[in-house]
Chains A and B, each alone.
Chain A
Amino acid sequence: MISQMEGSQAVAQSVALCRPEVICAYPISPQTHIVEGLGALVKGGKLAPCEFLNVESEFAAMSVAIGSSATGARTYTATASQGLLFMVEAIYNASGLGLPIVMTVANRAIGAPINIWNDHSDSMSQRDCGWLQLFAESNQEAVDLHIQAFRLAEELSMPVMVCMDGFILTHAYEQLELPSQAQVDRFLPPYEPRQVLDPAEPVSIGAMVGPEAFMEVRYLAHAKQTMALELIPEIAAEFAAEFGRAAGGLTRGYRIEDAETIVVALGSVVGTLEETVDALRDAGEKIGILSIRSYRPFPLAAVRAALKGAKRVVVLEKSFSVGMGGVVSADVRMALSGIQLNGYTVVAGLGGRPITQASLRRMLADAVEDKLPPLSFLDLNRDVVDRQLEREARVRRSGPVAENLLRDVSGQTKKPEVSA
């Protein structure tokens, strides 16, 4: 059914079609509308039987999810930003125990300074936690990825994060197609747990493991993610056959066939990039996009195959590793091991800074002429940074950083006298 609806409401509807049995909810922007939508569906009896728990923290949300998943219930929760970080200990625990929980991450920056707007710092900080991470380019894909995520999680007995850009997707109203219950039921069978807390067959789950087997348990998680490299395209193909549209998979190329320049990106910015690339193509540039849809497992072979014919690769990232550079870039470089080409990391959109066509076009014009530095920050106001560095060099008690920078940005501070 074609509907015009908010991304969060669409995800709530999609999750409900997957017949979750336990949902735990804790509010954090920009994820909140998703669990609000699900709460209304449960309270109104439209999603039944299902237990909807309003918990006291994200740490509790993931802990409740661990208990319910281990008891054999299909379990869902959603979070973002600080919430994801608050549940980190339980996130690692869920993957270590092999519990197929599905969680939406409405991607948002991490403070300080506190910032509610979109970037990918939150889920990127959890790239090594053992969860699979799928990225949605659009709200339609977010709807479709949640249905695939439950299949994927339960077949592997591993948890899956569906990452969608906060506000840009979660709060955007778009036309999209919601599948029917019958379609989802055909695609997603009832959950059959590999391990379950059952008095008829008692097991101890979560026992202590020493050096004699810990490495093997951790390796098994890696082996499962390696298997997912096969399973993700299979599930995407099955999805396309059942629902009549493509979604998911490991990567998606856009005009990359003869491209000399390829921009690698994740999430909703791919849509913006498509328009920029179209314009550059019209101007005669051989340029394309590689969208990474499965960030964990990272599809090394698919990325290598897509990029190996290019002359240069620009990784456009909404997060970065402070003191080093790009997060995704490091993985892309690993995929290109032994291949000589020019590689650039462009960090963009941190804390919700708009990534505009104009800025992208300017940056890509430099890129195709190999004028980009190895690491750059799109639309960084270097003047404001320099003023703060100068201030700190000048006075010991230079004050709170964020306040200083905001005053500088808004023009409330005068440039200091050199002799001051």
Chain B
Amino acid sequence: MTQDVKFYQTGTFTVGNRLLDPELRTVQSSIARDNSLTSGHRACQGCGEALGARYAVDAAMRASKGQLIAANATGCLEVFSTPYPETSWKLPWLHSLFGNAAAVGSGIAAALKVKAQKAGLDQSAVRVIAQGGDGGTTDIGFGCLSGMFERNDDVLYICYDNGGYMNTGVQRSSATPPAARTATTMPLGPNPGEEFGRGKNVPLIAVAHEIPYVATATVADLHDLEAKVEKAMSMHGARYIQIFVPCPLGWGAASCDTIKLARLAHESGVFPVFEAEAGAITRVSKIRRRVPVEDYLRLQRRYAHLFGANPRPDIVARLQALADKNIKRFGLLEEVA
């Protein structure tokens, strides 16, 4: 089911379905939609992870014609989706531990391969995704993730990156950005919030493994996200997608600003959106209208200590410099002739 096109805004900065051909549009609601993560779960209002997972998993379901198994790390996504005896998952789904989703995915893929061989097939029609938050991916699950990458196991790993351990009460992870307040990086002392110079860029680490496909995406551009999941599912071997998912609770942001924050993260250069294949970056999503990092920061209470009564323009400038570095490094701005 698609809407009739009412008007075009070509030449403007409006982002959305209505600029696309009907067959290319992202469909929110349709009887054909799998709704793999179906309604009734306990995610917070405006949860970026729930939104990202809904689109990513449904895209993977479409790409695999419903032949999909998911391994899930411990975390918000697991807790809000499966309060016993209820489950929001309409696909076969396994939660084992916090730090092993990638390895569990490897095990599922290995079992499917043997079963396919026993049925006389080259490869299994059933595909595997493994998913977790940034803590379960970049910290405690990192060893298993790297092992899955280097063995090139046939698993698509999806990391929902909200920059911290939100399920345990908003603590710092290796994906927490500099200056951000968390429960373990409080806005105290001369360097409030998370220290500069720390953290782990797992998408680039994934690229360094030279796996078939790596991508980043945000929940501000669901069409791009779906296309990347579908592209990943068209390939075999280890694949990685990191999705930027704002967390209203952990970031101190309004629930209605989830999409806006994801868009500002991209448009400011805070979160570079790109694709890589076999170790080389193949495409970047250009910034269409560059915005200052401050526009992104001001909507979040985790950065409130940078503004207000004792502002820290010096720290805002350092954060702007990091975004500028991203823009330069990934070539996020259109080249001016």
Question: Chain A residues in contact with chain B, CB under 8 A?
Answer: 21-22, 24, 48-51, 53-57, 59-60, 63-73, 75, 89-90, 93, 97, 197-199, 201-210, 213
Contact = CB atoms under 8 A, between A and B. Distances in A.
A225 to B, nearest CB: 22
Contacts of A204: 82, 87, 89, 92-95
Interface in B79-109: 79, 82-85, 87, 89-97, 99-100, 103-109
A66 B97 CA distance: 10
A207 B95 contact: yes
B117 interface: yes
A69 B106 CA distance: 12
Interface residues of B, number: 47
A97 to B, nearest CB: 7
B66 interface: yes
A208 B78 contact: yes
B111 A71 contact: yes
Contacts of A207: 82-85, 87, 95
B188 to A, nearest CB: 33
Given A51-B114, A56-B143, A202-B89, A69 B84 contact: no
A56 B111 contact: no
A313 to B, nearest CB: 40
A153 B230 CA distance: 39
Given A63-B106, A202-B90, A207-B82, 5 more contacts: A66-B96, A70-B94, A97-B96, A199-B126, A206-B96
Nearest to A212: B84
A97 B107 CA distance: 15
Given A63-B103, A202-B91, A208 B113 contact: no
A53 B104 CA distance: 12
29 contacts: A49-B114, A51-B110, A55-B147, A57-B144, A59-B144, A63-B103, A66-B96, A66-B100, A66-B104, A67-B71, A67-B96, A67-B108, A69-B107, A71-B107, A73-B111, A73-B114, A89-B97, A90-B96, A90-B97, A199-B92, A201-B92, A203-B93, A204-B87, A205-B93, A205-B95, A206-B72, A206-B94, A206-B95, A206-B96
Interface string B144-167: 101100110100000000000000
A63 B144 contact: yes
A197 B67 CA distance: 11
Contact of B110 (A56, A64, A97): A64
A209 B89 CA distance: 16
A204 B77 CA distance: 13
B304 interface: no
A204 B117 CA distance: 26
A89 B140 CA distance: 13
B242 to A, nearest CB: 21
B143 A24 contact: no
B84 A22 contact: no
B262 interface: no
A199 B60 CA distance: 13
A48 B113 CA distance: 12
Nearest to A50: B114
Contact of B111 (A22, A202, A206, A213): A22
A140 to B, nearest CB: 30
Contacts of B95: 204-207
Q: Which of A51, A59, A89 has the most CB of B within 10 A?
A: A51
